[in-house]
Structures are given as C-alpha cells and as structure tokens.
Structure 1
C-alpha cells in the first residue's frame, strides 16, 4: 500500500476520484452531444430522442446491480473493482467514437434504421458506463473509513469529476462537439486505465479502522427502511434533472430562438458548463465543511430546494441565454449535492461487505426515473405547445425530493479534529 493511501492524503483522494471522473466525463459527452447529434445530424424528433435515451436506464437496471453483485465476490487482475473499471473504460471510449459515426455504421452493416443503430450505440455506451460506474463508486467506500473520511472521498470525487465535466462542456462550446468526442475518448481511456494501479484493494471487505474514537462503529445490519426513504427522495431529484438533460434542447429552440443548430449546441454546452462549474467547486470546498457542522441530510435537502427554485426561475425569467446561464448556476448548487452526498449517506446504511450490490440497487433510484422521463414524460413534452413544461416538471419534482429528504434520518456525530 502506498503511503498516500495509508495516510489518506489529498493526493490519494484525487487519484481515487479519477476512475469515476473518467466515467463522468463519458457521461458528460453523452449529455452534451447525444440529443444534439441525433436531431441535427440524423433528423430524429424529440420523442425518438427520448426512446434512444431510454436505452441507458435499461442498461443501468441490470448492469449496475449485476456488476455490483459480481464485484463483491470476485478477485482478478489484482483487484475486486479494478477489472470492471478497465473493461468499462475501454468499451466506453469505443462507443464515444461511434456516436458521430452512427450513419456510417448503419450503412456498413446494412441495417437501414438510424434509430435502431442509435439505440444500440447508446445502449452499449451506457452499459459500458454502468459496468465501471458502480465499481468506481464502490471502491471509495471500500478503502475509506466511515464518517468524515467517507464524506471526503465522495465530495472529492465530485469536485474532481465535476471539474472535468466542466472541461467537457467548455471543449464542446469552444472547439465544437466533434472535437470533444474524439479527445474525450482518449481522456476516458486514460482515467480508467492508469489510476486503478495506484489504489490497493483488500481481498476481504472488512471494516476500515476508524479515524477517531468519536465516530461510532458502523452497524453491519442494512437499514432497509431508511434506504427506501432515500431511494424515493433521490429518485424524484433525478426525474427533474434528467428532464432537463434530455429535453432542454426543445426549450432552447422555442424560447431562445437560436440562429442555427450550431448555436443551439453551444447554448446547451455553456448551460451545462455553468451547471457543472458550480457542481465541481462546491462539494469538497463548501458542502463537505458544512456537513461537518449540520450533517449531510440537512445540507443535501437545502441544496435540492435551491435547485427547485432555480428551475422555477428559468420558467419565469429564462428569456435569454444569459439569464439561462445565471439560473443554471443556481441549479448547480443542487447538482453539486445530488452527485456527491447521497453516496456517502447511503454507504453508511448498508452492510460493508455487500457495498457493490447496494451501489447497484441505489442506482435504480437514478435509472428508473430516467426511464419515466424518456418513455412517459417525453410524449407529453412533445405534445405541449409551451416548452416551459420542461422546467415546471423539473422544479416540481425537485421540490418533492427536498420534502422527502426531510424523512431521511441521519445519526450525526461531530468528529473530533486533532
């Protein structure tokens, strides 16, 4: 074991975050370009785009649970999570390159359906991301103790991952989405292959030694009641967030009236750049210190409520791209919490030896809402004359999520600092 891991230094937390960062970068590419490329290059309408987006959640339902369960029990290539990070990263890089070549793949294979090929490529990309995402998150819980170190692991994960997510949207906005796709494939591959060899995994999933005596010993009993409260609260957050990710293109086209498809793509990229800029700055530098004072659940529900207000603000005031960017910064406060704090909260309510499995189950609170957004809400959004409905849905579901987080209990213990 390297000394940086033994001492849990900031350098180690940064390295530990890189595999999840690689998958987050792949996801950022998908969010930035998938709807845009399907609409502008292949002419798919908003309902067809929703069907393509449904491929990912379907992959997640099976992928993360199965991979999590398997990775809890196996050991090869020098690790429990490492093999799946390597395999998923390689496959994700290949599928990213396939995105702008869907038409060529369709012609080469003689399938005769752009929609069918797009679904297969999106499904494979999401399956690859899901193969890796579970292990990249589980490994953080595997090698960090409960309490402040665990929270720090996940907030650092989001800060590092969020920074590179911002870079993805910046690259797309400045150099174009095609440049982002090809450069991104190499970044995903590098972050998936190099860092895992600097992280030593234990063959036995045992309880890590506590940082301080003031942190209580974690129960081995899974708190199912609390988990279901957490799942529902997190699920409503993701209905709102996914609605924004998939259908913001329709809002921009109707309300901001961009001059070209290129300008539409740039507005999407800048919007998500701003969202992720706030999302990467806050977790390690703002949210983590706040959680030490008031607890993770209170911090999280406050951020989610602020995001709901940001979405409603877009409905009432989002008449220009500048206002959209400013309100996206407000929404970024909630985004920073959604992609970091729930993992730390959930990880201390389950049996440590089954962390991969429970990370997979936890992912259902993300992918099932995504399916609802793609297969149910897409039809209503397409039929609606006023595309403000997109952010009305987002704001309402985030408000419900904030209320449900009030029901989640947390045994908050202040860690002593020496």
Structure 2
C-alpha cells in the first residue's frame, strides 16, 4: 500500500489553516512587546513576560502530539485539535488588546500561546500523515507559503488601520491604541475561518490505513527492528536525569550566591524539573509501569539521530528569531529613531514601521517558499538551509549599522529567506525518519528545540543587555544574527537517515 498522490489544491486545502494560525501568531509577535511596554513594562522586564509563550509550548506540544496520535473521531485524527485550538485562540485575540493591566496581558499571552499550540502542533504531523514522502517538501513549503501570507497581513494590520483607514495609533498612557485593538479583532475572525476551511475541506487516513502504510514501508520496518536494550536504556535515563538535576541545582545556587538576575532561575529550575522527571520515569519503568506519562518522557531520550542533530540547528536559529521578536521594536525605536517615549508620535510611527519590517520578511518568506525546494533538489537540503540561515544572520546584524527605513526593510529580506527555510526544510529532513504511530508526538518533541531556545533567550538576553550592553537592545539582535549563522554551519553536519531507536513497543 502507498499513500495517494494529492493534487495541488488538496495540499492547498490541508495547509490553508496555517494562514489563520500565522495571522494570530504574527499579531502576537509584532505587538506583544508594544502592549507590554504601553502597560508599563520596562525594557529589561519584557523578555521574562514573554516566557509564557515558550513554556506553554514546551508543555502543550508533546502532550497534544501524543494524544492526537491516539485520537480518532468523526472529524478525524488531527482536525479536532485544529478546531478546538482555533476557537480558544480567537477568544484570546479579542481579549489581549483590552487587557487592563500588565499581569492580565501576560496571562492572556499564556492562554493565547497554549491555544495556538493546540492548533499548530498537529498541522506538522498532518503533512506526514497525508502525503507520500515525495510530496512532503511541497507540503511543508505550502505551509510556509500560508505562514508568510498570514504573517504579512497580520503584521501589517496596525499600519494599515492607521494609514489607510485613519484609525489612531496613539492613546493615553496605559491604553492600547485602537489600531492595535482592531487588528487583533480581525485576527481572531480570520484565525477561526481559515482553520474551519481546512477542517471542512480535508480528509484523513484512519489509524488502520496509516499502520498498513508503515507496514508496507521496508525502510521503516528495518528501523523498527533496532530496539534499544531496555535495562541499558533505563540506566541511561536515570543517569541523564540525575546529571540534569545536579547541574541545574549547582548553577541555581551559583546564581543565588552571586545575586544575578532572577530570570536566570527559570532556565535552571526547569533543568532540575526535567531531570527529576527522567529519574522518576526510570524508576517507574523498572517496575514495568507503562502509561502515557512514561512513554512521553522516555521517547524524549530515544529520538531519531537526525532529530538530535537538527536539534542544534533549530536551537540557534530559533534563539535568533526570538531575539528579533523581543527586541526589534526597542532596537528600532531607540537605536535607529532615538526615542523610548511610548506616548510620542515618533515612537509609535517607528513601532508601526517594525510591523512593516515584519511584513517584509514574511512576504519574502512567502515569495521564496516554492523556490527553496528547487534549490534543494539542485544542491541539497543541508546546503540550502545553510545558505538561507547565513542570509538571515547577516540581515539581523546589519540593523546595528542602519539609520533609515528603507535600509531596515532590506535587512528583513535576508531574514525572510531564513524564515522560509526554517519553516520547511528541517521538517522535510526529519519527517521521513518518523513512523506514523509517533508522527504527532515526535513533531511535538521536535518543537522543543523551538521552545527551549526561546526560554534561553527570554532568560539570558535581558541579563546580557542589562549587564553588558547598557540596556541597548540592538546588541541582542547582533547576538541573534551570530547565532543564526552558527545554526547554518551546524546544518552541514546533519546526517538524515531512516533509523529510529525505540525503547519500548
């Protein structure tokens, strides 16, 4: 048995929901720092307020992936999660710009990001489920196209409302401008309608059909033969977990004794918690206790080799992206235009221009989404990804040297090329190594390497900017640019192969 080759429009329909998801995600990325700062957050506090998003993804994505692998309803396997996440996300988008205080906005961001993750995580597995391997690069590129289009319009909305429809982009101190409010309202409606289109227009293979496809796949059958020795694997899990907990405890003590910024605790306390979970699960496995909790934690240890190598690529590229999302507004308003007064016209015009910059990089991503697979066929996925990430890194670094609006837009061209590649090529490199029975789960775990660098960025960038760069956020963008170039170099060492270590079946 082989999966049916889908038409262009069938792939279009199954990817269309990403238009709405990215519409909401772009509004969040481009405007959250502005909302926080308007509600009274200082520059050094903004990264820690952003921590809600990656922490939520870290928890939600593998759980949603695990359960979506095991779901089958009248709506299918993945589509129920698309719909539930879309409804919750739309509601959060209506609430966010009406937050009466900073803590309400931070809490709403937490809810919004959890809801977006519920919709977004199964979409990656959706491509692996429905498309034969020869069409997966096209499938992920189609998602990248809709991500680009959704982000272009979503990022541009505040600017459009102000300059096209005369909606005010200024407001009294502590009040979110009307241009931002109406952008979020439109985003909530578009999010829900786009996801509904995919839910209604797409179909899914049943679990029995997917199992039959895997059974007919000789490569995956060969991969399944290699079962990790359980006793050895349990010992490794205990050792890794104990080491993580000890390292986290020692570094946390060092932070306390030296009175470093409290945000650093989040990263290393998280390491302690992860280590303790590994230790607990290793002991449960010794007692032959097997449930969703033990499977979720254990399979993190036994990732495919390509996934482990791609983890470093994802880590540094998403660290760079998160530095951009957190600090571009502050870098442009302060370093390029010379103001931090959130009530001034200069500040708000500069902040609006950041939404245009984000529009450009997303527009470039949409434009090149279908060109990257062509380059990859002529060279390789690894070379294409390296080239794209290098362009993005140079674009971020160049912001330090720019002093005009047009130059800032040109810097975003490189970022857009990198963004298109980040959204498609790593998933295409990975998907062929995953069995359908674990597709959702491993796609969720793969997103750890999107989430963890965001937590790292949120915990250390504020510290670095404050302690070493005199509260000048533009230096965070330089750090991010260097990280993105490093991720491109690391891509060259990835060895994609269809070999899966499975500790327990």
TM superposition score normalised by structure 2:
0.74
1:51 matches 2:38: no
- For 2:206, the equivalent position in structure 1 comes to 203
Kept after mapping to 2: 8 A contact 1:145/1:207: no
1:304 matches 2:309: no
Kept after mapping to 2: 8 A contact 1:158/1:340: yes
- For 2:480, the equivalent position in structure 1 comes to 394
Match of 1:66 among 29, 53, 63: 63
Deviations 1:357-399, CA, capped at 9 Å, x for gaps: 0011001001111111112212322442343312211111112
1:333 matches 2:412: no
Deviation at 1:292, TM superposition (A): 1.8
- For 2:132, the equivalent position in structure 1 comes to 145
Match of 1:187 among 182, 187, 190: 190
1:165 matches 2:122: no
- For 2:442, the equivalent position in structure 1 comes to 358
Match of 1:117 among 99, 104, 127: 104
| Inter-CA distance 179–116: structure 2 relative to 1 (3 Å threshold) | closer
Partners of 2:352 and 2:103 lie apart in 1 by 27
Deviations 1:144-184, CA, capped at 9 Å, x for gaps: 0113x000000011112211211112222211322211111
- The structure having more radius of gyration, on CA atoms, is 2
Partners of 2:44 and 2:303 lie apart in 1 by 39
Kept after mapping to 2: 8 A contact 1:18/1:161: no
Partners of 1:223 and 1:62 lie apart in 2 by 18
Question: Helix, strand or coil: the match of 1:409?
Answer: coil
- For 2:14, the equivalent position in structure 1 comes to 16
Partners of 1:163 and 1:340 lie apart in 2 by 15
State the 4+ residue runs in structure 1 displaced beyond 4 angstroms: 215-223
Kept after mapping to 2: 8 A contact 1:143/1:208: no
- For 1:28, the equivalent position in structure 2 comes to 26
Deviations 1:247-285, CA, capped at 9 Å, x for gaps: 11221122222643321321110110011011111112x
Give structure 1 stretches of 5+ with no counterpart: 104-113, 210-214, 413-418
Match of 1:232 among 298, 309, 312: 312
| Inter-CA distance 166–216: structure 2 relative to 1 (3 Å threshold) | farther
- For 2:407, the equivalent position in structure 1 comes to 323
Question: Number of aligned pairs?
Answer: 391
1:178 matches 2:181: yes
Kept after mapping to 2: 8 A contact 1:89/1:132: yes
Partners of 1:73 and 1:311 lie apart in 2 by 41
Give structure 2 stretches of 5+ with no counterpart: 162-178, 225-301, 340-344, 499-505
Partners of 1:312 and 1:377 lie apart in 2 by 16
Partners of 2:461 and 2:335 lie apart in 1 by 19
Deviation at 1:225, TM superposition (A): 2.3
Deviation at 1:343, TM superposition (A): 1.3
Deviation at 1:207, TM superposition (A): 6.3
Partners of 1:208 and 1:145 lie apart in 2 by 10
1:129 matches 2:209: no
Question: Helix, strand or coil: the match of 1:76?
Answer: coil
Kept after mapping to 2: 8 A contact 1:158/1:336: yes
Partners of 2:143 and 2:458 lie apart in 1 by 28
383-392 or 79-88: bigger deviation? 383-392
Partners of 2:74 and 2:463 lie apart in 1 by 46
Partners of 1:382 and 1:8 lie apart in 2 by 52
Kept after mapping to 1: 8 A contact 2:327/2:477: no
Kept after mapping to 2: 8 A contact 1:75/1:203: yes
Partners of 2:414 and 2:425 lie apart in 1 by 18
RMSD, aligned α-carbons = 2.3
